[in-house]
């Protein structure tokens, strides 16, 4: 039955028919959930098995301890003498994006490149935790490990791990326990 609206249009009394709603059966839903829960972990496992991690490049770095004379900007007439770590690039390659860690807890990042045969010195108290909240305290803790990370010309990251005794003399790395 047709009715004329107040705007002069002819409309039908019956509402338009809705298309049937498509839904998944229990079997289809179960298969879909299994696919979503099995395929991603299987993909990760296959990546680990078929693409093993490549070993990090070894960085040749000379690391030693010394003192640095720091002249504060506010009071340049009163220099401070601070214990520091000195890193030298003995190679013929330029190092970029240099990071140095002490005892795997305290870090220092150098923005500048380090040219071949050049060295730089960093006072130990300039090393901070990753959050930046805690600075290394040279008098309360000894440096037993210095790790140098640098980007080499191939754009790969290279790593040098250096171990020291309580007197600051180089030692062999500790033996790994099984």
pLDDT band at 115 (very low <50, low <70, confident <90, very high): very high
Q: List all residues 6 or more positions away from 19 whose beta carbon is below 8 Å from its beta carbon.
A: none
Q: Is the pLDDT of residue 127 over 70?
A: yes
CB of 105 within 8 A of CB of 85? no
Q: What is the CA radius of gyration of the chain?
A: 32
Range 16-41 average pLDDT: 84
Total H helices, total E strands in the chain:
1, 11
The whole-angstrom separation of Cα 139 and Cα 163 is: 19
pLDDT band at 53 (very low <50, low <70, confident <90, very high): confident
> Which residue range is the domain that position 40 belongs to?
24-52
Residue whose token pair is 């298969």: 31
Phi, psi of 104 (to 5 degrees): 60, 10
44 with 110, same domain: the answer is no
Helices (H), the chain: 26-50
Return the pLDDT at 8: 67
pLDDT band at 17 (very low <50, low <70, confident <90, very high): low
Which stretch of 89-93, 107-111, 148-152, 167-171 has the lowest confidence by average pLDDT?
167-171
Within-domain flag for 101? yes
Q: How many CB atoms lie within 10 A of CB 142?
A: 13
144 with 121, same domain: the answer is yes
80 with 36, same domain: the answer is no
104 with 75, same domain: the answer is yes
Of 14, 34, 52, the position where a domain reaches its end is 52
44 with 67, same domain: the answer is no
Of 11, 35, 52, the position where a domain reaches its end is 52
Within-domain flag for 74? yes
The CATH number that applies at residue 111 is 2.60.40
pLDDT band at 72 (very low <50, low <70, confident <90, very high): confident
Return the pLDDT at 141: 85
Return the pLDDT at 120: 93
Calculate the average pLDDT of the chain: 87
Within-domain flag for 107? yes
Q: Is the pLDDT of residue 7 over 80?
A: no
pTM: 0.69
Number of domains in the chain: 2
Residue whose token pair is 């490990």: 145
Q: Is the pLDDT of residue 30 over 70?
A: yes
């Amino acid at each position: 039955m047709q009715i004329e609206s107040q705007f002069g249009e002819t409309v039908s009394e019956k509402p338009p028919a809705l298309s049937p709603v498509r839904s998944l059966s229990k079997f289809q839903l179960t298969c879909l959930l299994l696919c979503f829960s099995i395929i991603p972990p299987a993909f990760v496992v296959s990546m680990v098995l078929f693409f093993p991690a490549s070993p990090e490049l070894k960085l040749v770095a000379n690391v030693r301890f010394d003192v640095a004379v720091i002249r504060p900007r506010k009071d340049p007439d009163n220099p401070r003498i601070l214990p520091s770590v000195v890193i030298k690039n003995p190679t013929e390659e330029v190092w970029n994006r240099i990071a140095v860690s002490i005892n795997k807890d305290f870090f220092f990042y150098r923005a500048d490149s380090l040219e071949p045969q050049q060295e730089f010195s960093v006072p130990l108290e300039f090393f901070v935790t990753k959050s930046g909240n805690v600075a290394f305290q040279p008098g309360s803790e000894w440096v037993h490990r210095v790790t140098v990370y640098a980007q080499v010309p191939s754009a790969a990251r290279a790593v040098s791990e250096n171990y020291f005794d309580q007197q600051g003399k180089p030692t062999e790395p500790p033996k790994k326990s099984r």
